[in-house]
Amino acid sequence: MRLYNSLTRRVEEIQPVDGALVKMYSCGPTVYRYAHIGNMRSFMLGDLIRRVLRFEGTEVKWVMNITDVGHMTDDASMDKMDLASADEGLSPQEIAEKYTQAFLEDSDAVGIQRADSYPKATDHIQEMIRLTERLIERGHAYEVEGSVYYDVHTFPEYGKLSGNTLDKLRAGSRQDLEVDPNKRHPEDFALWKRAEPNRLMKWDSPWGQGFPGWHIECSAMSMKYLGERFDLHTGGQDLKFPHHEDEIAQSDGATGHQAISAWAHGGFLQLSGQKMAKSTGNIARVTELVEQGYDPLAFRLLCFGTRYRSEMDFSDEALAGANRTLTRIRQRMADWKAASGNGLSPEAKDLDQRFRDRVGDDLDMPGALVVVNETVSAEIPDADKYALLSSWDAVLGLDLERLAREGFEIPPDVQALVDERDEARAAKDFARSDEIRDRLTEMGWEVMDTDAGTRVRPLAGR
């Protein structure tokens, strides 16, 4: 599998450090609010990478963190977990549990297979403290009045991921730099913060009671679960700076070598031309899609129409179209299920190779969908179509065999109209036959003329 490496700015083959197992870390949710579908698109990236690698025969260990402490508000005055606790009258632990469970359920709904582990920040405070001590020992960090900061000037490669080098940061006036007179340089960032007396979430440390910075958790947990050299780190484009840039400074600074081989970043999801984000209020949850009558996997299919690195526009009309397409393919799969075959035809093998080439080439899911659509209408045996799509669904994750597996029942009143239509066609009463077709369509059934007579199935999207 070849993937665009944000660090080198090239499409490169994923090569496991140990030669066998690909080890991947993904930045997960901050569990103080519900995740929205823009978040889900970002989390889908790790899922797709793992699916394609497994499809190619490579095993993957995937870790996704749960941020339940350390993510500060924009003015760095309060932790977002504390704010949510105050808003809802629940403890920070109850807040974290509530929104972690909601995140996992929403992930399941859009076909994101569970990661191998979901370590929580609050369960790894000691690992963060030890990593912070290690950075102090190596001369990368310093303590001032109970807080510890990373001195970015000790890491010459700072900015190599995002392009935000120290020269550029000094030349500009970054408004998101934390205003803190204790820092040696405005660009330095917190590894550990001294806790104010009224803070809910705080822990003992060598520097007094405090809490971890946001960035340190990912370095500490990724290296604990994947080792000090691992293969791939994923996340949204918005995390490239400062979060991922600071991760590199921490992990490489502590180990003395490049800890992470490659970085993959997903593009934003836009609604009405604006990035979907909690701060703008233009968000939608997976559960809202269900309430509107859509299959959540239709959103997954919709995402495949845009390359993962590009910004994606979301609209109800596009989702409705994806929902119809998904239902139609599932219906065809149900039709093809009973077909028999003796291995793939040469034409089917060619389609299979084209699909594999597309998903393996930097996750070209739009190109893969072209192959899927060609296969549905191709002049190849139905058994081949069923075999191909059921195999490819290991990557697509669209549950394409749902109707073939579950089937559907034809209500007695619908069956009576089908029988009446067959009688009308036998009597060459085509006007009556057309009337019944229209009636069945109004009732939500697709009508098909076959050698065996009239067949019906639920209309796509109904």
pLDDT in tens, 237-276: 999 999 999 999 999 999 999 999 999 999 999 886 666 6
Dump strand ranges (E) for 341-458.
445-450, 453-458
Count of alpha carbons within 13 angstroms of residue 317, beta-carbon side: 2
Cα-only R_g, the chain: 27
Q: How far is residue 253's CA from residue 135's CA, in Å, rounded to a whole number?
A: 7
Quote the pLDDT of residue 183.
Answer: 93
Q: Give the pair of three-digit tokens for residue 355.
A: 């699909």
More confident residue, 235 or 82: 235
Dump strand ranges (E) for 121-160.
141-144, 147-150
Q: Give the pair of three-digit tokens for residue 85.
A: 């606790």
Whether the predicted pLDDT of 76 surpasses 60: no
Quote the pLDDT of residue 144.
Answer: 97
Whether the predicted pLDDT of 3 surpasses 80: yes
pLDDT band at residue 304 using 50, 70 and 90 as cut-offs: very high
Q: How far is residue 436's CA from residue 255's CA, in Å, rounded to a whole number?
A: 74
Whether the predicted pLDDT of 74 surpasses 50: no
Question: Within the chain, how many helices (H) and strands (E) appear?
Answer: 16, 15
Q: What is the mean pLDDT of residues 399-404?
A: 93
Q: With residue 85 as reference, give the H or E element that holds it.
A: helix 80-88
Q: Which residue has the tokens 């030890």?
A: 130
Q: How far is residue 109's CA from residue 33's CA, in Å, rounded to a whole number?
A: 18
pLDDT band at residue 359 using 50, 70 and 90 as cut-offs: very high
Q: What is the mean pLDDT of residues 288-310?
A: 96
pTM, two decimals, is 0.87
Q: Are 267 and 39 in contact (CB under 8 A)?
A: no
Q: What is the mean pLDDT of residues 126-147?
A: 98
Quote the pLDDT of residue 72.
Answer: 54
Cα angle, residue 170 at apex, residues 169 and 175 outer, rounded to 5°: 60
Amino acid found at 410: I
Q: How far is residue 398's CA from residue 168's CA, in Å, rounded to a whole number?
A: 44
Q: What domains can be seen in the chain, in order of their start residue?
A: 2-266 (3.40.50.620), 271-406 (1.10.730.10), 412-458 (no CATH)
Q: Are 283 and 24 in contact (CB under 8 A)?
A: no
3-state secondary structure of 390: helix
Quote the pLDDT of residue 81.
Answer: 76
185-195 per-position pLDDT tens digit:
999 999 999 99
pLDDT band at residue 141 using 50, 70 and 90 as cut-offs: very high
pLDDT band at residue 175 using 50, 70 and 90 as cut-offs: very low
Whether the predicted pLDDT of 73 surpasses 50: no
Q: How far is residue 448's CA from residue 454's CA, in Å, rounded to a whole number?
A: 6
Whether the predicted pLDDT of 333 surpasses 70: yes
Quote the pLDDT of residue 216.
Answer: 97
CA 133 to chain centre: 33
Specify burial of residue 181 (Cβ count, 10 A radius: 0-12, 13-18, 19+).
exposed
Quote the pLDDT of residue 302.
Answer: 98
pLDDT band at residue 173 using 50, 70 and 90 as cut-offs: very low
Q: Are 284 and 271 in contact (CB under 8 A)?
A: yes
User: b/e per residue, 311-330, with b = 16+ CB within 10 A?
Assistant: ebebeeeebbbbbebbbbbb
